[in-house]
Amino acid sequence: MNLFFTILNIAILVICMVVLAVMQVKKLSFTKRVLTSLGLGIVLGIVLQLAFGKNKEVLHATLPWFGLVGNGYVGLLRMIIIPLVMVSIISAILKLKDAKNLGKMSASVILTLVLTAGIAAMVGEVSALAWGLDARQITQGQAEQNRALTLERNAGQANTSLPAKILEFIPTNPFLDMTGARSTSTLAVVIFSAFVGIAALGIRKKYPAESELVHKIVDAAYAVTMRLVGIIIKLTPFGVLAIMSSTLASTDYGAVVNLLKFILASYTALIVMFVIHLFILSVFNYNPWIYVKKAWPVLTFAFMSRTSMGTIPLTVEAQTKKMGISGAIANFSATFGTAIGQNGCAGIYPAMLAVMIAPAVGIDPFNVGFLLTVALVTAVSSFGVAGVGGGATFAALIVLSTLNLPVALAGILISIEPLIDMGRTALNVSDAFVAGAVTARLMNDVDMTVYNNRDVELDQVQAS
Model confidence pLDDT, tens digit, residues 154-170 = 555 555 566 776 777 78
CA distance readout (Å), 341 to 41, 163, 360: 30, 16, 28
27 residue type, one letter: K
Is residue 262 predicted with pLDDT exceeding 50?
yes
Tens digit of pLDDT for each residue in 268-296? 999 999 999 999 999 999 999 999 999 98
> What pTM value is reported for the model?
0.81
Identify the three-state secondary structure at position 223: helix
Whether the per-residue pLDDT at 6 is higher than 80: the answer is yes
pLDDT of residue 352: 93
Q: What is the pLDDT of residues 170-227, one digit of tens each?
A: 888 988 888 877 767 777 888 898 899 888 888 888 888 888 999 899 989 988 988 8
What CATH code is carried by the domain that includes residue 420?
A: 1.10.3860.10
Residue 455: phi, psi to the nearest 5? -100, 0
CB 338 within 8 A of CB 386: yes
Those residues with Cβ within 8 angstroms of residue 433's Cβ, 6 or more apart along the chain or in another chain: 277, 291, 295, 298, 315, 318, 319, 323, 333
- Of 446, 319, 328, whose CA–CA distance to 88 is shortest? 328
Residue-level pLDDT at 123:
97
In 3D space, the residue among 53, 44, 415 whose CA is nearest the CA of residue 246 turns out to be 44
Q: How far apart are CA 356 and CA 333, in angstroms?
A: 32
> What is the amino acid identity at position 397?
L
Number of domains comprising the chain: 1
Q: What is the pLDDT of residue 463?
A: 41
| CA 126 – CA 341 distance, rounded (Å) | 19
Q: Which domain holds residue 392?
A: 2-463
pLDDT in tens, 71-88: 898 888 888 888 888 888
Among 278, 246, 291, which Cα is nearest to 47's? Answer: 246
Burial class (CB in 10 A: 0-12, 13-18, 19+), 278: middle
On average, the pLDDT of the chain sits at 84
Beta bridge partners of 134: none
Q: Inform me whether the pLDDT recorded for 456 exceeds 90.
A: no
- Would the pLDDT of 368 be above 90? yes
